Amino acid sequence: MGGENSKPAEQEPRQPSRPRTPTPPPSPTLKDPWREIAWGNNARDLQYMKDYEPGNDDIKHLRILLYGPVGVGKSSFINSVSNVLRGRMTTPALTSAMTSDQSFTTRYATHKIKKEGRGKSKSYYPFVFNDIMGLEKGDGVRPDDIILALKGHVKEGYKFNPVSTLSDDDPWYNPLPSPEDKVHVLVCVLSANTAEITDSVLQKMAEIREAASYLGIPQMAIGTNIDSACPETEKDLKNVYKSKHIKQKTLLMN
């Protein structure tokens, strides 16, 4: 131990502390897309649609029915397909200008898309889209009515009644559906920027899916609003399969 005269122990010269570099936040995008898309093959895809013919000779067109929660973009999707095929702005299905809890589409409507050509040579694409009222928590289209539509029992223009299911003695009930009245493909439409889907809507969707499986109707799902769901897709839509947020949303939809 040092006395009064003892020298203080030599200390290492203090190193100037280095400024800490903050850890960068994790990237919102994946390095590699989780699904490969051949971007830029629009002309080939469009030609495929133009040449398409249903494999079954008994039907002139495939009937594709879209269902999903209110305001997810069911009617807008039909308009988008029509715009792409016709090469100009068209609005076969009316869409809502604002978000609301109530469905803007209330009637059962079939939308055909015209092919190019004039006069007698004018024809329609061999697939039609059926637009229906959205599924809501309380009101909205009843799953039983969608199941009747799958079987072809709902006549064109029927106004869905959220309180009661279409009965078989109603004039809007089609007792003898033709193969073309029946639905051939069922499409579930979900929005990528919806916070959450309520349990009651999920329950209705499950009922519809189960009935379609029983009827042997092929099903698929599409995601809308991917352009506004995350900053990366807002910048460039081609980031859709790189965006971690959209991947997460897709997993929740399954």
- Which of 242, 249, 248 is CA-nearest to residue 29? 242
In the numeric block, the tokens 């009644």 are attached to 161
Q: Which residue in 75, 79, 191, 239 binds Mg ion (CB under 5 A)?
A: 75
Is 96 near ligand GTP (CB under 6 A)? yes
Please give the size of the binding site for ligand GTP, defined by CB under 6 A. Answer: 18
Q: Segment near ligand GTP (CB under 6 A), from 21-29, 96-104, 115-123, 155-163? A: 96-104
Is 82 near Mg ion (CB under 5 A)? no
CA distance 42 to 76: 20
Per-residue contact track with ligand GTP, 214 to 243, x per CB under 6 A? ----------xx-xx---------------
Which is closer to ligand GTP, CB of 68 or CB of 127?
68
- Is the CB of residue 144 less than 8 Å from the CB of residue 150? no
Q: Which residue in 72, 148, 186, 246 binds ligand GTP (CB under 6 A)?
A: 72
Site residues for ligand GTP per CB under 6 A: 70-76, 95-97, 103-105, 134, 224-225, 227-228
